[in-house]
């Protein structure tokens, strides 16, 4: 009994915290997605009272709206593509970086990791606004790029308020979240394995693809999840840098809650996003799990 | 021509000289051991032969060809690592197939050789398992199979039994000897365990401080250590300060402070030389009373202390004026009435040629 008590004293508070601030709000949101919008925003009451007594005031209207216009699905697909491109580019850039840190002398490693997380020390929004200046039409970067393109007779391009600006900034924002789990994984690799591979006839290319890469898959999965999922719901970056062409599903959800004041539809969009993310991440985890147990 | 010729290899790490001008020839088919305490340079030397490290000077010739010009992955030399370094994400069969796949052999041939190799190390039913699912001894055998499947010219073994418990280690020692005989591949074995080295090797190079102290057959290393370090490092040994008083052709007389004159074999020292008398405890006879024999040193003394080890008892006998001599008595010794107690008067004796005089 006392043993169980100790266990509950330790795990109780975080479980309680998650129930109060995660499980219950999720349930509220699921419920909200089936309710009617209130006349002045907010939500209409769940129970309606009339002559025949009280009855439930729920509807599938929000979900009907979602599927009735392809524009919503299209926004989902577009968000998905942004997230995939961001994740892929982050992986491509973070892997060599993480490998470099993991293979550098141990006295420099902590310093290099510190440099990776250094951007977190300044405010998220400030960093995004900085990109606005960097990509703006008067910036040195734009001028240099357009000057270069001009040599080949390509007209000046606009960088700001484009999908390009959004993805570029998303990569910038999310890169540390890919580097850190990859580094944590790569740093644990036993260097004797690479010696063994070389000893047994593997060249540098083979040593990477047959030893380092397969052993780093758990780190890759963790990094992909940490980058991919938050990007799906992000709205600040497209809000500031995306203009009208660069908006994502997160912007729409925010709009439904704050500007359109259609809470049920906003909730429905959120639920659809959560389900979509779960299907993708769950499917990937299942695939990864099967690979790791060697069934493939 | 020796299979591997090592010529004046020097390797320094900053101020520290790990390998200090080592030369040796390793013959084809030999079970050769590098033996020494940690930091003696044996592992560094092994890593240079494998190619993970390069000497600052000196050369290594394999079949007469300079190894420096051959990349590590191209050398016909494979290594069994102390940690085994099995690939955790590959099955046992995939681990063994790895060197064959690197050589781009056909699928059919790889399958056949992996099967044969699994059979050789008696792991036929473990091919589909992952290294994490195997016992220490099984992992050891997979590491051996993987390193041997390519038929290297030279197999390097870096303390491969260090991680196993004692029973298993003895069993693996026998397996290693048999395996080496069967495959006929030259083994270079690194260990700090002198009993292991004595049991396994055809020849042993005892290393200390980056230098080879003695290179010889196990029995020569044990019976005629060349210097104090070898005598002390291999087995247990009485080391008693001595001075040569009469140096004969084959025999010599040593003067030992507190004990007097002791006859010993002369390895080539001259009168007046100072050094030590090295005497193995098991070559010293001990009993309450001993009949004197020819060519023996004979002393009376007292049991100063003893260690009961089960199979043998180690007696530390005080003879003369405070000189301690260790003697070993098998507990099966016939007609022995009882274990001698501390303070008991005893007699010890040893043939003159059981003791060796060592310079310095």
DSSP letters of A97-111? HHHHHHHS-HHHHHH
Cα–Cα distance, B165 to B135 (Å, whole number): 12
Task: Catalogue the long-range contacts made by B196-199 (C-beta closer than 8 Å, 24 or more residues apart).
Answer: B196/B161, B196/B169, B197/B33, B197/B35, B198/B222, B198/B234, B199/B173
Record the tokens describing residue A9, joined without a space.
């004293």
Compute the nearest-CA separation of A203 from chain B (Å): 7
Q: Is residue A32 part of a domain?
A: no
- B73 and A203 within 8 Å at the Cβ level: the answer is yes
- B85 and A192 within 8 Å at the Cβ level: the answer is yes
Q: Is residue A93 part of a domain?
A: yes
Q: A190 contacts in B (CB within 8 Å)?
A: 83, 85
Average pLDDT (A128-139) is: 88
B59: β partners: B7
Q: Is residue A138 part of a domain?
A: yes
Contacts of A244 (CB under 8 A, 6+ apart): A161
- A200 and B102 within 8 Å at the Cβ level: the answer is yes
Give one DSSP letter per residue of B287-356, joined into a string.
ESS----TTEEEEEEEEEEEEE-SSEEEEEEEETTTEEEEEEEETT-TT--SPPPTT-EEEEEEEGGGEE
- Looking up residue A259, the CATH number of its domain turns out to be 1.10.3720.10
Q: Is B54 on the interface with A (CB under 8 A)?
A: no
Annotated domain spans of chain B: 4-229, 236-359
| Per-residue confidence band for A272, with pLDDT thresholds at 50, 70 and 90 | very high
Mutation target among A193, A199, A213, A294 for the B interface, most CBs of B within 10 A: A199
In chain B, positions 31-50, which contact chain A (CB-CB < 8 Å)? 50
Average pLDDT (A118-125) is: 87
Greatest CA span in chain B, whole angstroms?
76
Mutation target among B87, B105, B152, B160 for the A interface, most CBs of A within 10 A: B87
- Please identify which residue in the block is written with the tokens 């007696």: B315
Q: Is residue A6 part of a domain?
A: no
User: What pLDDT does residue B337 have?
Assistant: 54
User: What pLDDT does residue B359 have?
Assistant: 82
User: What pLDDT does residue A1 have?
Assistant: 59
User: What pLDDT does residue A296 have?
Assistant: 33
**pLDDT over 70, % of chain A:** 97
Size of interface A-B (CB pairs under 8 A): 59
- Please identify which residue in the block is written with the tokens 């693809």: A209
Q: B79 contacts in A (CB within 8 Å)?
A: 195-196, 199
- B150 and A192 within 8 Å at the Cβ level: the answer is no
- A214 → closest Cβ in B81, B89, B150: B89
Compute the nearest-CA separation of B9 from chain A (Å): 21
| Per-residue confidence band for A22, with pLDDT thresholds at 50, 70 and 90 | very high
How many domains, in total, are found in chain A?
Answer: 1
- A211 and B81 within 8 Å at the Cβ level: the answer is no
Compute the nearest-CA separation of A189 from chain B (Å): 11
Q: Residue B303 burial by CB count (10 A; 0-12/13-18/19+): exposed, middle or buried? A: buried
| Per-residue confidence band for A136, with pLDDT thresholds at 50, 70 and 90 | confident
User: What pLDDT does residue A282 have?
Assistant: 86
Measure Cα distances from A52 to A48, A253, B188 in Å.
10, 37, 95
Return the residue of A nearest to B82 by Cα. A192
Q: A161 near A137, Cβ under 8 Å? A: no
Nearest to A268 by CA among A24, A6, A36: A36
In chain B, positions 85-124, which contact chain A (CB-CB < 8 Å)? 85-89, 91, 98-99, 102-103
Return the residue of A nearest to B103 by Cα. A201
Average pLDDT (A243-268) is: 89
Compute the nearest-CA separation of A241 from chain B (Å): 43
Q: Is residue A34 part of a domain?
A: no
User: What pLDDT does residue A294 have?
Assistant: 44
CATH topology of domain B4-229: Rossmann fold (3.40.50)
Residue A295 has pLDDT above 80, yes or no: no
State the sign of the Cα–Cα–Cα–Cα dihedral A268, A271, A277, A283. negative
Distance of CA B208 to the CA centre of its chain: 12
Average pLDDT (A81-96) is: 94
Return the residue of A nearest to B150 by Cα. A200
- A196 and B91 within 8 Å at the Cβ level: the answer is no
- B85 → closest Cβ in A190, A210, A214: A190
- A199 and B79 within 8 Å at the Cβ level: the answer is yes
Q: B99 contacts in A (CB within 8 Å)?
A: 200-201
pLDDT per residue of chain B (360 residues) written in tens, 0 to 9: 799 999 999 999 999 999 999 999 999 999 999 999 998 999 999 999 999 999 999 999 999 999 999 999 999 999 999 999 999 999 999 999 999 999 999 999 999 999 999 998 889 999 999 999 999 889 999 999 999 999 999 999 999 998 888 888 888 899 899 989 988 999 999 999 999 999 999 999 999 999 999 999 999 999 889 899 999 999 889 999 999 988 888 888 999 988 889 998 888 888 888 989 999 999 999 988 888 888 889 999 999 999 888 888 899 999 988 899 999 988 875 555 567 888 889 999 999 888 888 887
- A193 and B85 within 8 Å at the Cβ level: the answer is yes
Sequence-ordered alpha helix ranges (H) in A187-262: 191-199, 204-207, 213-233, 236-241, 249-258
User: What pLDDT does residue B317 have?
Assistant: 94
- B102 → closest Cβ in A201, A215, A294: A201
Q: B147 contacts in A (CB within 8 Å)?
A: 199-200
Neighbour count for residue A71 (Cβ, 10 Å): 9
Range of the domain at A278: 66-291
Q: Is residue A21 part of a domain?
A: no
- A192 and B83 within 8 Å at the Cβ level: the answer is yes
B78: β partners: B155
Compute the nearest-CA separation of B80 from chain A (Å): 8
Compute the nearest-CA separation of B143 from chain A (Å): 10
CATH of domain B236-359: 2.40.50.100
Q: Is residue A287 part of a domain?
A: yes
């Amino acid at each position: 009994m006392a043993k169980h008590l100790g266990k509950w004293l330790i795990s109780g508070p975080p479980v309680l915290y998650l129930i109060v601030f995660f499980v219950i709000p999720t349930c509220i949101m699921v419920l909200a997605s089936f309710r009617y919008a209130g006349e002045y925003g907010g939500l209409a009451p769940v129970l309606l009272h009339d002559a025949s007594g009280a009855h439930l005031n729920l509807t599938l209207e929000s979900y009907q709206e979602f599927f009735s216009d392809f524009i919503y699905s299209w926004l989902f697909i577009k968000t998905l593509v942004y997230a995939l491109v961001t994740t892929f580019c982050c992986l491509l850039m973070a892997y060599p970086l993480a490998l470099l840190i993991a293979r550098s002398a141990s006295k420099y490693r902590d310093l290099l990791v510190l440099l990776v997380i250094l951007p977190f020390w300044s405010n998220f929004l400030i960093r995004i606004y900085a990109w606005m200046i960097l990509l703006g039409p008067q910036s040195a970067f734009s001028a240099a790029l357009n000057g270069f393109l001009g040599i080949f007779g390509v007209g000046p391009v606009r960088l700001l308020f484009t999908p390009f600006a959004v993805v570029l900034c998303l990569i910038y924002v999310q890169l540390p979240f890919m580097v850190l789990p990859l580094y944590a994984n790569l740093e644990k690799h036993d260097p004797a394995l690479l010696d063994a591979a070389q000893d047994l006839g593997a060249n540098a290319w083979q040593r990477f693809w047959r030893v380092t890469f397969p052993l780093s898959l758990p780190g890759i999965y963790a990094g992909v999840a940490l980058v991919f999922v938050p990007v799906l719901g992000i709205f600040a970056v497209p809000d500031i840098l995306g203009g009208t062409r660069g908006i994502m599903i997160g912007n729409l959800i925010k709009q439904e809650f704050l500007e359109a004041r259609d809470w049920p539809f906003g909730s429905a969009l959120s639920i659809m996003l959560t389900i979509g993310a779960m299907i993708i991440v769950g499917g990937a985890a299942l695939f990864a799990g099967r690979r790791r147990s060697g069934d493939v | 021509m020796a299979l591997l010729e090592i010529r004046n290899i020097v390797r320094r790490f900053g101020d520290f000289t790990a390998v200090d001008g080592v030369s040796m020839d390793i013959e084809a088919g030999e079970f050769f051991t590098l033996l020494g305490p940690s930091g003696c340079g044996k592992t560094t030397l092994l890593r240079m032969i494998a190619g993970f490290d390069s000497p600052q000077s000196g050369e290594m010739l394999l079949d007469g060809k300079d190894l420096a010009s051959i990349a590590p992955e191209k050398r016909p030399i494979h290594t069994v690592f102390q940690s085994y370094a099995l690939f955790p994400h590959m099955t046992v069969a995939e681990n063994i197939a790895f060197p064959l796949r690197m050589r781009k052999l056909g699928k059919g041939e790889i399958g056949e050789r992996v099967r044969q190799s699994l059979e050789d190390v008696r792991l036929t039913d473990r091919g589909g398992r992952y290294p994490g699912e195997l016992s220490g001894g099984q992992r050891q055998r997979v590491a051996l199979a993987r390193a041997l499947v390519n038929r290297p010219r030279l197999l390097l073994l870096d303390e491969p039994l260090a991680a196993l418990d004692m029973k298993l280690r003895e069993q693996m020692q026998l397996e290693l000897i048999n395996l080496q005989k069967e495959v006929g591949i030259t083994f270079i074995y690194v260990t700090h365990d002198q009993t292991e080295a004595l049991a396994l090797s055809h020849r042993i190079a005892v290393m200390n401080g980056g230098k080879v102290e003695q290179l010889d057959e196990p029995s020569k290393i044990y019976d005629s250590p060349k210097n104090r370090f070898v005598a002390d490092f291999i087995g247990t040994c009485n080391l008693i300060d001595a001075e040569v008083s009469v140096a004969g052709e084959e025999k010599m007389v040593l003067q030992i402070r507190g004990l007097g004159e002791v006859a010993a074999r002369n390895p080539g020292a001259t009168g007046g030389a100072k050094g030590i008398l090295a005497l193995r405890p098991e070559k010293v006879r001990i009993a309450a009373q001993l009949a004197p024999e020819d060519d023996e040193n004979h002393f009376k003394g007292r049991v100063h202390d003893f260690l009961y080890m089960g199979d043998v008892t180690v007696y530390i006998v005080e003879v003369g004026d405070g000189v301690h001599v260790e003697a070993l008595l098998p507990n099966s010794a016939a007609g022995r009435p009882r274990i001698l107690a501390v303070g008991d008067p005893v007699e010890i004796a040893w043939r003159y040629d059981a003791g060796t005089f060592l310079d310095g």
